[in-house]
Amino acid sequence: MKYFPGDKVTYRGTRFNDLRNRLGEVCSQVRNSLDTYVVDFGDDSYVLRSESLSRYKPSKEPGAKELEVQVRRKRSNDDE
């Protein structure tokens, strides 16, 4: 899976048990490696392979409100 700087991820590997279920942020991709990333977990940064990461999926709270998307009305001409 491809990640970009700023993506929120969680660690799902087995080597670093203290990182499990912690939120991290992708800092950068390691040069000359398509599947290795530098990930910041707040107190430390780690170099991790993409198979050890998964995208962060926030849990929905019972009272959370869904966003409503509204379609903008079309203009009849460009002068309006």
Q: Which domain holds residue 12?
A: 8-55
The DSSP element (H or E) to which 26 belongs, if any, is strand 23-29
Q: Please tell me the pTM assigned to this model.
A: 0.68
| Residue-level pLDDT at 28 | 94
In a domain? residue 73: no
Q: Which two tokens stand for residue 9?
A: 């991820």
| Residue-level pLDDT at 71 | 76
Domain count for the chain, please give it.
1
In a domain? residue 51: yes
| Residue-level pLDDT at 26 | 95
Contact between residue 76 and residue 28 where contact means Cβ atoms under 8 Å apart: no
11-68 pLDDT, tens digit each: 988 888 888 878 999 999 999 998 999 999 988 899 999 999 999 887 766 666 666 7
In a domain? residue 21: yes
